[in-house]
Amino acid sequence: MIRWLKRFYFLVIGLFLSLPLIVVAGVSVNAKQTLAFPPQGFSLSWYGEIFSNTEWRSALIASVVLATTSAALAVLIALPLSWFLWRRIAPWANIFQVLGIAPFTLPPVITALGLLTFWATTGFYGQPWTAVIGHAIFFVTLPLVTLSLGFSAIDRSFVEAAATMGANDRTIFRTVVLPLILPYLVSGYAFAFVLSLNEYIVAYMTVGFTLETLPIKIFNALRYGYTPTMASVTILFVFTAAVIFSLVAKFGDLPKLLGAMASDEP
């Protein structure tokens, strides 16, 4: 009985999480431009539309450029900070860790509005690069968390050995520490990248009128009614996220990254 109940429960949660996406996937392969499920006919033309239609393509490019650069900037902020916190005794410096986590903890509209007032006051409102900084600050939490985890997993005696052999901080960082934390760095980047790709409010409030990312494009299109391209973009996004997280899981320890302790469990 209990076994059956368990399976049923997994099935219900699985259906709840996947049903909207299954319907959208069905809609995305409709042959005609209608919102219909089950799909009428089969066509992949709406997927082609993302790349051939200039508006959707430029939104796709904007999103990818924004996600690659802002995730890189987030890592550039998180890496030296977590290295410093691991290497030095400076309790007050933890305040920067808190600052790095705060934007992600507060409702996103607050970070977005703060940046909007800031860019409006400084006169840079609407510049595409402001969104890069906005996303980097908003998502710096992710590499910060994965990197802190990575640093805490390093055996200090390795570093001790390198120091005894005469290596300085810089050499130790490059030859010992960096290879050890690389998986955490990559997964921090991956998390920030995927979330930036999907982020709406910060991008919208900072550059929404000058730079249209895919989520902004979908929302704007949604106001004027339905186009099947939205469905194909949605599926493309879920697919991208699933592939990236699968890669993280393949090359790193996903349960550990998400807070489970040992990796020697079943």
Partner 1 sequence: MKREPPQSIADYGPLFFPAGMLLIFFVVPFGTMIAVSFFKRQEGGFYTPAFVFSNYERFLSAFFGGVLGFSLMLAVTVAICCVVLALPFTYLLSRLSRRLQVIWLVGLLSVLSLSEVIIGFAWSTLLSRTAGLSNLFVKIGLLDQPVALFPSFGAVLTGMVYQALPYTILVLYPAIVRLDPTLMEAARTLGSSPIRAFFNVLVPALRNTIMATLIMVFIFALGSYLLPQILGRPQHWTLSVLITDQAIYQSNMPFAAAMAVFLVLVTLGLVALTLLIGRKGEKA
Question: Contacting partner 1 (CB under 8 A), which of 11, 44, 48, 84?
Answer: 84
Q: Tell me how far, at minimum, the Cβ of 48 lies from partner 1, in Å.
A: 20
- Give the C-alpha separation, 29 to 41, whole Å: 8
Q: Which stretch binds partner 1 (CB under 8 A): 41-49, 145-153, 178-186, 232-240?
A: 232-240
C-alpha of 84 from chain center:
24
User: Please, what is the Cα angle at 196 between 124 and 193, to 5 degrees?
Assistant: 125
Residue 41 engages partner 1 in binding (rule: CB under 8 A):
no
Residue 72 engages partner 1 in binding (rule: CB under 8 A):
no
Give 58 or 101: the residue with its C-beta nearer to partner 1: 101
Return the sign of the alpha-carbon dihedral for residues 83, 84, 88, 92.
negative
Q: Tell me how far, at minimum, the Cβ of 51 lies from partner 1, in Å.
A: 19
**Phi, psi (5° rounding) for residue 173?**
-60, -45
Q: Tell me how far, at minimum, the Cβ of 107 lies from partner 1, in Å.
A: 3
- H-helix or E-strand spanning residue 169: helix 169-172
- Give the C-alpha separation, 117 to 125, whole Å: 9
Q: Tell me how far, at minimum, the Cβ of 245 lies from partner 1, in Å.
A: 5
The size of the interface with partner 1 (CB under 8 A), counted in residues, is 98
Residue 15 engages partner 1 in binding (rule: CB under 8 A):
no
The answer to whether 75 and 188 are in contact (CB under 8 A) is: yes
Give 6 or 174: the residue with its C-beta nearer to partner 1: 6
Residue 147 engages partner 1 in binding (rule: CB under 8 A):
no
Residue 182 engages partner 1 in binding (rule: CB under 8 A):
no
Residue 96, CA distances (Å) to 41, 85, 90, 134 in order? 55, 10, 11, 17
- Give the C-alpha separation, 126 to 105, whole Å: 25
Residue 266 engages partner 1 in binding (rule: CB under 8 A):
yes
Question: Contacting partner 1 (CB under 8 A), which of 31, 64, 118, 180?
Answer: 118
Q: Tell me how far, at minimum, the Cβ of 58 lies from partner 1, in Å.
A: 17
Question: Contacting partner 1 (CB under 8 A), which of 66, 140, 207, 211?
Answer: 140
